[in-house]
Amino acid sequence: MPGNDAYQHDVLVIGGGGAGLRAAIAAAEESGRLSIAVLSKVYPMRSHTVSAEGGTAAVMRENDSLDMHAKDTIFGSDFLADQDVVEAFVKEAPGEVIQLEHWGCPWSRDPDGRVSVRPFGGMTVNRTLYAADKTGFHMLHALFQTSLKYDKIVRYDEWFATSLLVEDGRVCGVVALNVHDGTVRAITAKAVIICTGGAGRIFSFTTNAAIKTGDGMALAYRAGAPLKDMEFMQYHPTGLPGTGILITEASRGEGGHLKNKDGYRYLQDYGLGPPTDKPVHRKMELGPRDILSRCHIQEHQKGRTFEGPYGHYVHLDLRHLGEKLIDKNLPFVRELVKDYVGIDPVYEPIPVRPVIHYTMGGISTDIDAKTRLEGLYAAGEAACVSMNGANRLGSNSLTELLVFGARAGRAAARHALERPAVSSNPVAHLVSDERKRLDTRFLRADGRERIADIRDEMRKAMEDGCGIYREKATMAQTCDTLRRLRERFGRIGLMDRDAVFNTELIAALELECMLDVAAAVAHSALAREESRGAHTRTDFPKRDDARFLKHSLAYRTPDGPRVEYLPVTITRWPPEERKY
């Protein structure tokens, strides 16, 4: 019940993936006096961090330096990363990955017992720690299992946050639906941290889990916080056709080759060559993801890709690596390809195509994970602290969720320690409003529009207008389509009216979030008249620093997103042309 102590906390984390759990532990360690809660629409160990494969970057060796990691990240970002943020990130990264080691993460090891490092796309030296090719899985379970030792971390497993509680411009908790019994409650907190991950599910072909529907982004956006750099959706060059299942970049780091239908390593034709037997940092298959994804499309336009039931694809060839290496460092790749494509990568090349992988934009935060709304913080893929800019380097995201998850947890804890408790009277009123909204819009509505139809059309519109190559006319059409889908969503009808575990209601709420986030992506993309990183326009093929060396900020308005801009912070690396 509202006002009941059980639903009052000092710090409330929404999302129990890598960033959320890291934030919760950081808050718990910041002060013994705080009550901390983690609310997640799934059990935390089911979060999408579990699917990350390749590794997590940090400067660990003598041949590396913080400046080198910073420069690679900034260069990879196409100079859209905030350089003060990147500097803080690379500095805190080694401590965070070692902390995780102390919490039991089974990092792969060198013979002398040190944690191993492997090459990754866009990086100049080996700096990616890994746990075979199940890095995210091991990190998430290590974090989750470690979180169990903190008694004061309370969990709301399988609860869905439907709106933020905002009073006098201050965020003071959420209204959330308990999926198990359908009750709606206010959960108050002096500080709220959103760690709900990205929004890859607004596209048809994605490596993202079903749960990645941008819920947290939409929560903040509706409450008035802007979404930053949403036009930058990253394609990963090697997903399985059809399912979109990720074949990790580590398979190229270990020496895998991309080949067209003639068996030719085509990347050499796009300024990434010459081909070598051993992988070379930042060359050929170890180029950054945005460039490799564009090469794929151009190769397709030249008629040199394969055609399959799910469209065009190329080959990722691991055969020359040998069974022993594949089993040691890429066992999950072998398992996935055997299970889902029915071939063994030891003997046959893997069909791959670019698929949506990562949302570089997100809730705009400062370097301490603070948003524009008092009391609201965000970290991980849901946030945009501006370290990935226009293109994230592989293996920086797992480190990002550690570094900025911890920063968010500490900042929110300090904020909570300074604040009085939230008063419960206005909160009760907000809860009954939200209950009414859910009932009238969904559970008692008699609309005829189906979730699946609107969802499919939204995804198609995003693929059509906001894919690897973009242009004004198709993007404008996508914006229009999204507007019409939003109207149709108002006439949605559910078959399921039950209180207990109503997953159709959850799907409707998720779709509502996706429609908001998709609109922010499409409008931000339409407004950016240049090509930078993952945002490539055929009508504006050059990067335009004079007009667009700045972050976009999308604000929600009743007439659709309003796009404003924010300068990029440059400290020591002046923008230069990005060549590999």
Partner 1 sequence: MREETITLEVTRYRPGHDSEPRTESFAVPYQKDWVVLDALNHIKDQLDGTLTYRWSCRMGVCGSCGMMVNGVPKLTCSAFLRDYYPGPIRVEPLANFPVIRDLVVSLDDFMEKLRRVKPWLIRAVEKPVSEGEYRQTPAQLEDYKQFSMCINCMLCYAACPVYGLAPAFVGPAAIALAYRYNMDSRDEGYKLREPILSESVGVWECTFVGECSVVCPKGVDPAAAIQRSKVAGAKDWAMAMLMPWGGRR
Residues forming contacts to partner 1 in the complex (CB under 8 A) are: 42-43, 45-48, 50-51, 95, 98-99, 101-104, 106-115, 134, 137-138, 141, 145-146, 148-149, 157, 180, 209-211, 242-243, 245-246, 332, 335-336, 339-340, 450-452, 494-496, 498, 500-504
Give the largest CA-CA distance in the chain: 70
The answer to whether 307 and 107 are in contact (CB under 8 A) is no
Cα–Cα–Cα angle for 45, 47, 51, rounded to 5 degrees: 100
Cα 406 to Cα 409: distance, rounded to the nearest angstrom: 5
Q: Spot the catalytic one: 252, 282, 470, 578.
A: 252
| Residues, the chain | 580
Residues contacting residue 576 through CB under 8 Å, at least 6 positions apart? 79
Instruction: Output the six-digit token pair for 214.
Output: 């941008």
Matching residue, tokens 């819920």: 215
Tell me the Cα Rg of the chain: 23
Phi, psi of 166 (to 5 degrees): -125, 125
Catalytic residue check, 252: yes
Residues contacting residue 94 through CB under 8 Å, at least 6 positions apart? 58, 59, 60
3-class SS shares of the chain: helix, strand, coil, % to 5: 40, 20, 40
- Is the CB of 229 or the CB of 510 nearer to partner 1? 510
Minimum Å distance from CB 515 to partner 1? 17
Minimum Å distance from CB 109 to partner 1? 5
Minimum Å distance from CB 330 to partner 1? 15
Minimum Å distance from CB 453 to partner 1? 9
Catalytic residue check, 353: no
- Is the CB of 144 or the CB of 377 nearer to partner 1? 144
Minimum Å distance from CB 201 to partner 1? 11
Residues contacting residue 571 through CB under 8 Å, at least 6 positions apart? 83, 84, 87
Q: Which of 117, 157, 12, 153 is nearest to 399 (CA)?
A: 117
**Alpha helices by DSSP H, 11-109:** 18-30, 66-76, 83-102
Q: Spot the catalytic one: 46, 69, 201, 236.
A: 236
Cα 375 to Cα 371: distance, rounded to the nearest angstrom: 8
- Is the CB of 473 or the CB of 500 nearer to partner 1? 500
Minimum Å distance from CB 210 to partner 1? 5
- Is the CB of 53 or the CB of 229 nearer to partner 1? 53
- Is the CB of 503 or the CB of 571 nearer to partner 1? 503
Residues with a catalytic annotation lie at 236, 252
